[in-house]
């Protein structure tokens, strides 16, 4: 047998705790503010949309938070996820770099999203919630929550961004198969959706609009709560199982990553992989370069401002301190629907502000070029979102070749692209364009 390329852990190795970077930030994270009073929001203000147990987790200063047994038990369906060394990809790039990827696409919904969906459905069930309302961009989050709700006997309503609803009909069917009710957003199901449709009957929608619709639905219904698939502290927290496993798997591989890369939409898969490494950077003086990758058509971190802004278009959320393009920004109809968000997780934004991470951006033709090269060497057809990370990995690997340096690169392959084939069709038939501004 040739060299080992697949590094796996056993069921017993699934982390027992989530890691909370809030405990280790050298400066405290600016709190979310009430939009009227501009005072920090109190837990009772947030319980209108989230159950109290998740609100407490959102605000928790604890470094380690126990993963409940029922959640760990469900994690065993796909966790621990494998870590692979991409030797064929390295060869194609003629690079001395060693490239490793953590593959989250083997979960039932096909991405990292079930890591938090299952936890959120569990805490909502405990709190007596009967129905969860949410938004979805690419459909990955909506399908993850539909799956998780099914496991805990909760109803699920998903507002799916119009452009993805049209581009990805099979994602919608997947959600329906798990029993969710799916609306294209903007929809005529909510007051805000109707207002948006009046302004533009052909609106492609955005995550900001879909979030507003889901919150409105939750607030107006008895026993319904809202659930968010990214951005917030508790979502980043739940995703840290990825990085904790990766640290152990890199040890099995006998290497230490020097460059760590992930794509960013709201920031959760990037946070999940990188925050346990950021902890080592802060507490063990490790010198990792950690890079977040976003679309150049929706460049919240590389071109946005760090300031308080709303998380949604209708101004229903508290004000969050984050990198933002403004909550009314309408991202172009790129195929990476999960990255069409105007803002960025406050925790990821704070890590950037403190110089703990870097950010870069790529146009979509570069992304698909990277995705195709990866699929032709490693076999997996990556999600367009995850392919942003691959594009940055290629640039790092080429730099290694030019400098004649072996560096160890680790990236998060956050999901597969098997339900994004229409986007691959557009690319492979030469019809894909780079849309940088406007719609
Ligand atoms: C496969 C995949 N990766 C990444 C993302 C981006 O979200 P986040 O930044 O929260 O990880 C999405 C969002 O839908 C996704 O589906």
Closest C-alpha to 165, from 228, 104, 209: 209
What is residue 439's predicted lDDT score, i.e. its pLDDT? 36
DSSP 415: B
pLDDT more than 90, % of the chain = 94
Strand segments (E) across 59-216:
64-66, 83-85, 98-103, 131-136, 155-161, 181-185
pLDDT tens per residue across span 162-216: 999 998 899 999 999 999 999 999 999 999 999 999 999 999 999 999 999 999 9
With a cut of 50, which residues of the chain have pLDDT below it? 438-439
Instruction: Using the mean position of ligand 1's atoms as its centre, give its distance from the Cα of residue 137 in Å.
Output: 9
Q: Is the CB of 338 under 6 A from ligand 1?
A: yes
Q: Do 200 and 171 touch, CB atoms closer than 8 A?
A: no
Tell me how far apart the alpha carbons of residues 368 and 428 are, in angstroms, rounded to a whole number.
9
Most informative mutation of 174, 263, 348, 374 for ligand 1 (most atoms within 8 A of CB): 263
Q: Is the CB of 232 under 6 A from ligand 1?
A: no
Nearest residue (by CA) to ligand 1, atom 10, is 268
Rg (the chain; Cα; Å): 20
Instruction: Using the mean position of ligand 1's atoms as its centre, give its distance from the Cα of residue 302 in Å.
Output: 18
The end-to-end CA distance of the chain, in Å, is: 52
What is residue 1's predicted lDDT score, i.e. its pLDDT? 66
Q: Do 436 and 406 touch, CB atoms closer than 8 A?
A: no
Instruction: Using the mean position of ligand 1's atoms as its centre, give its distance from the Cα of residue 187 in Å.
Output: 23
Q: Is the CB of 157 under 6 A from ligand 1?
A: no
Instruction: Using the mean position of ligand 1's atoms as its centre, give its distance from the Cα of residue 70 in Å.
Output: 24
Task: Read off the tokens for 106.
Answer: 């083997």
What is residue 436's predicted lDDT score, i.e. its pLDDT? 64
What is residue 167's predicted lDDT score, i.e. its pLDDT? 85
Q: Is the pTM of this model over 0.95?
A: yes
Instruction: Using the mean position of ligand 1's atoms as its centre, give its distance from the Cα of residue 212 in Å.
Output: 19
What is residue 433's predicted lDDT score, i.e. its pLDDT? 87
Q: Do 261 and 392 touch, CB atoms closer than 8 A?
A: yes
Question: Mean pLDDT score of the chain, rounded to an integer?
Answer: 96
Closest C-alpha to 82, from 249, 239, 270, 257: 249
Q: Is the CB of 268 under 6 A from ligand 1?
A: yes
pLDDT tens per residue across span 343-373: 999 999 999 999 999 999 999 999 999 999 9
Q: Is the CB of 187 under 6 A from ligand 1?
A: no
């Amino acid at each position: 047998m040739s060299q080992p390329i697949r590094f796996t852990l056993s069921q017993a190795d699934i982390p027992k705790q989530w890691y909370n970077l809030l405990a280790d930030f050298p400066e405290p994270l600016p709190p979310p503010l009430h939009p009227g009073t501009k005072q920090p929001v109190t837990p009772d203000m947030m319980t209108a949309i989230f159950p109290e147990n998740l609100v407490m987790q959102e605000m928790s200063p604890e470094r380690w938070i126990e993963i409940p047994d029922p959640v760990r038990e469900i994690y065993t369906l796909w966790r621990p996820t494998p870590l692979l060394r991409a030797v064929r990809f390295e060869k194609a790039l003629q690079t001395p770099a060693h490239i490793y990827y953590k593959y989250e696409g083997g979960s039932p919904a096909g991405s990292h999203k079930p890591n938090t969906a299952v936890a959120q459905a569990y805490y909502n069930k405990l709190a007596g919630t009967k129905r969860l309302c949410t938004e979805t961009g690419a459909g990955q989050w909506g399908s993850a929550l539909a799956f998780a709700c099914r496991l805990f006997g909760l109803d699920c309503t998903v507002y799916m961004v119009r452009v993805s609803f049209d581009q990805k009909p099979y994602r919608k069917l997947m959600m329906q198969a798990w029993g969710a009710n799916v609306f294209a957003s903007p929809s005529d199901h909510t007051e805000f959706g109707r207002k948006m449709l009046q302004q533009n009957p052909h609106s492609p929608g955005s995550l900001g609009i879909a979030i507003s619709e889901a919150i409105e639905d939750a607030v107006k219904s008895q026993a319904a709560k809202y659930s968010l698939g990214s951005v917030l502290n508790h979502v980043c927290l739940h995703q840290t199982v990825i990085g904790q496993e990766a640290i152990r798997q890199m040890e099995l591989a006998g290497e230490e990553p020097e460059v760590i890369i992930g794509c960013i939409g709201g920031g959760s898969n990037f946070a999940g992989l990188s925050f346990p490494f950021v902890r080592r950077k802060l507490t063990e003086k490790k010198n990792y370069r950690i890079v977040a990758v976003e679309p150049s058509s929706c460049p919240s971190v590389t071109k946005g401002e760090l300031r308080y802004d709303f998380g949604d278009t209708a101004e229903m959320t508290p004000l969050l301190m984050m990198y933002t393009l403004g909550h009314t920004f309408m991202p172009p109809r790129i195929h990476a629907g999960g990255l069409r968000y105007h803002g960025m997780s406050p925790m990821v934004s704070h890590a950037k502000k403190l110089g703990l991470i870097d950010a870069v951006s790529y146009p979509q033709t570069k992304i698909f070029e990277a995705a195709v090269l990866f699929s032709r060497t490693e076999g997996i057809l990556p999600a367009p979102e995850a392919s942003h990370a691959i594009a940055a990995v290629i640039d790092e690997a080429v730099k290694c070749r030019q400098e004649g340096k072996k560096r160890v690169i680790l990236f998060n392959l956050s999901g597969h692209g098997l339900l994004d084939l229409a986007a691959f069709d557009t690319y492979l038939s030469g019809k894909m364009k780079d849309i940088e501004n406007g719609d």
